[in-house]
Structure formats: structure tokens, C-alpha cells
Structure 1
Amino acid sequence: MAVRKVVTRSSCHFRGYFPSLKNGHPVAWESQLEGGFFRLLELSPFVLRYEVQPSRERLPLGDTFLDYVPDLRVFLANGSEWWIEVKPSRKLPILSVKQKLSAASIHFPATNRNFLVVTDELIWREPLATNLQKILYHRRGPLLSSEQHAEVCSKLNKYKPHVFHDVISLFGRMEAWRLLGLCVIGINLEETLVEESQVFLSGGHRHANIFA
């Protein structure tokens, strides 16, 4: 549960909710940058779930302390956890921001926790950002039942499609896109998604592992 309310009416920030399947409920975001990062978390095979505004920290800063709430806590399939700050790169040189993030980068390792700053340089880089937006747009609709999932996997294992066009031929265009959105099949998110894109039948989508 968030330690403070994220979405409020009295704010000039652009805020809303992201329909998260991994969390099983909508997740509040405070900026389009956060919403863009949620897309990556939703399609990352490394990520099990994530929490927004997960904790309230007291960061040592000289002779005083600074109250700090990280943007996210991310739970990975390997059992590790990461506390994340999502920040526009243009704000990093600001003295107060630099001091806060410097203190956080010391505080979290000192308490045996992983800490990472994620900027727009990662979230909006292309073709990653466009691929994420396209795939999640087509994820809308009901989830696959266990019987449907087994039937799809059986068909994939039988015909073993190599490229996205093969998947379209097997299931039809709309269903092929939905299988991408549900991570039943994967692609390399760092390459422009076209019908000739290689598909992976296990392990989900491929992209640079920012949690390495």
C-alpha cells in the first residue's frame, strides 16, 4: 500500500491509473514518465509485481535528515527487490535533487536494499517506447483461461512460428497482438516491431535488463 495518496484532484501534475495485470489492480501514477515505466515493468519477464510510493525513508543529509518516499518497489522473479526513483534527466543537475538522490544511493545499500534511478533516457528511448505502447494497446480484453492458454501453447509448440507474421497466420491479427500483450509470446523490445520480427515462445519479451 502506498504510504501517501498518489492521485488527488488538487494538483497540477498529470496523474492517472495504469491497468496493471501483474498487480491485479489499477496502479496510480504521478506523471507520464512513471506511466511509461509501468509499461516496461508489465512486459518485463524479470518483474513479478511492483508497488507505488512503497515506503517513507529518513535519509541522513549532513547534520540533519531528509524525508523521502521512493516512487516504486519492484519485486523480481529471482527474489530480489529494487527501490526506484523515476526522474526526468533534466532535473538531475538541480542541487536539491542531486543531494536527495546521492543520500538515497548511500542509504539503501546501507540497509541492504537495491536502489536505482530511472530517467526518460531509458523510458522514452526508441524503438522501445513505441513497441511497449503498441503491445499494451492490444492487450485489452479478457485474459486467457487456463484451457485457452493450454490450447494456445499446444498450437505454438506444434507449429513453432519463427516470426510475428507466422503467429498472425496461426491465430489472426487481433489475437496475435493480444498474445504479445499477455506475454504468451515475446519479441526483442529493443528492435522495431514488424511482421518479420523474431518471436520467442518462452521466456517473454527480451530487452536490456536494467536490474542486472
Structure 2
Amino acid sequence: MSVRKVVTRRSCHFRGYFPSLKNGKPTPWESQLEGGFFRLLELSPQVHSYTIQPSRESVSLDSATIKYFPDLHVFLTDGREWWFEVKPKKRLLIASIDQRLEAAKAHFAASNRNFTVVTNDLIHSEPLARNLQKLMYHRRGPMLSTSQVDEVHEILHTHEPKTLSALIATFGDMEAWRLLGLGIVGISLSETISSNSEVFLTGGHRHADFFA
């Protein structure tokens, strides 16, 4: 649960709601950069769920104690947890912000919690950003039921498609992209998607592991 209200009318920043299937409800975001990071979390097979503005931290900075609200608390499928700050890279050039985030890093490290600052260098990198937008378009609609997933896996086991074109030949264009959007079939997010792209029948999508 968020400790601070995110979507309000009193702001010059663009704010809205992200249609999260992992959280089972619309999830508010404060910037388009944050919304872009949500796409990566939503499509990462390592992520179980995530919350925004999850806690109020008391962080030591110089001789004072300041309040700090991390942007995200991410719960991983292997039981680990991770906290994130999402910031435009140019904002890190501001001394006061850089000092605040360095203090936050030390604060989380002292309590043995994972904390990472992510910027547009990751979120807007291509072709990752374009691939995420494309797959999210096909992620619309409800998750498949257990019986539907079992049926899909049986077909995948029988035909064993190796490429996107083979996946489309097996399921049809719309259903093949839906399986990619739901992460039931994986694909590399760091390479431009084409008909010859390799698909992965287990393990979900492949991309740089930022939970190292």
C-alpha cells in the first residue's frame, strides 16, 4: 500500500494509471518515465508484483535526518525484494538530488535492502522501449485460466515453434502476439523483433538482468 497519495490534481507533472495485470488493479504513476519502467516490471518474468510510494524512510544526510519516499517496492518471484527510484538522468546532475540519493543508497544498504536508481538510459533505450510498448499493446485483456495455459503448453510441446513466424503459424497472428504480451511465450526484448526472432517456450522474456 502506498504511504503517499500519488495521483492528485495539484501538479504540473503528467500523472495517470497503468493497467497492471500483476498487481490486479490500475497502478498510479507520476511521470511517463515511471510508466515506462512499469512496462519493464510488468513484462519481466522475475517480477511478481510491485507497489508505488511504499514507505517513508528516515535518511541521514550530513547532520540532519530527512524524509525519503522511494518510488517503488518490487517483489520478485524468488522471494527477494527491491526498492527503486526512477529519475531522469539529467536530474542526477543536480548536487542536492545526487546527495539525497547517495544518502538513500547508504540507508538501504545499512538495512540490507536492495536499492537501485533507474534512469532514461535504461527505460528509453532502443529497441527495448519500442518492444515493451508493442508487447504491452497485446497484453490487454484478462490472464488465461489454468486450463487455457495447460492447453497452450500442450500445443507448444507438440509443435515446438522456434521463431516468431513459427509461433504465428501455430496459433495465428493475434493469439501468438497475445501469448507474447502475457509472457507465456518469451522473446528477447533487447533485439528488434522480427519474424525470424527466436521465441522461448519457458522462462518468459529475455533482457538485461537489473536484479543482479
Q: Tell me the residue number matched to 1:81.
A: 81
> When the two structures are aligned, how many residues end up with a matched partner?
212
Q: Tell me the residue number matched to 1:45.
A: 45
Contact 2:21 2:143 in 1 (8 A): no
Secondary structure at 1:82 match in 2: strand
Question: CA shift at 1:141, angstroms?
Answer: 2.2
Q: Tell me the residue number matched to 2:146.
A: 146
Secondary structure at 1:150 match in 2: helix
- 2:51 alignment partner AA: E
Secondary structure at 1:50 match in 2: strand
1:1-212 matches, within 5 Å, as 1-212=1-212
Question: CA shift at 1:127, angstroms?
Answer: 0.4
Deviations 1:47-70 (A, max 9, x none): 111110000011101111111100
Question: CA shift at 1:149, angstroms?
Answer: 1.2
Secondary structure at 1:92 match in 2: helix
Contact 2:71 2:86 in 1 (8 A): yes
Secondary structure at 1:192 match in 2: coil
Partners of 1:92 and 1:121 in 2: how far apart? 12
Question: CA shift at 1:142, angstroms?
Answer: 3.0
Partners of 1:74 and 1:22 in 2: how far apart? 11
Contact 2:189 2:207 in 1 (8 A): yes
Partners of 2:96 and 2:51 in 1: how far apart? 25
Point out where structure 2 has 5 or more consecutive residues left out of the alignment. Answer: none
Partners of 1:144 and 1:80 in 2: how far apart? 26
Contact 2:6 2:30 in 1 (8 A): yes
- 1:127 alignment partner AA: P
Partners of 2:175 and 2:88 in 1: how far apart? 35
Question: CA shift at 1:143, angstroms?
Answer: 2.3
Partners of 2:36 and 2:157 in 1: how far apart? 33
TM-score, with length taken from structure 1: 0.98
Deviations 1:89-108 (A, max 9, x none): 00001011011101001000
Question: CA shift at 1:78, angstroms?
Answer: 1.9
Point out where structure 1 has 5 or more consecutive residues left out of the alignment. Answer: none
Runs of at least 4 residues off by over 2 Å: none
Contact 2:28 2:52 in 1 (8 A): yes
Partners of 1:87 and 1:36 in 2: how far apart? 12
Secondary structure at 1:207 match in 2: coil
TM-score, with length taken from structure 2: 0.98
The 3 A distance-change label for structure 1 pair 171 and 37 is same
Partners of 1:152 and 1:102 in 2: how far apart? 47
Aligned sequence identity (%)? 62
Deviations 1:153-205 (A, max 9, x none): 10000000000111111111111110001111000110001111000000000
Question: CA shift at 1:77, angstroms?
Answer: 1.7
Partners of 2:39 and 2:92 in 1: how far apart? 23
Deviations 1:70-122 (A, max 9, x none): 00011112221111000000000101101110100100010111110000000
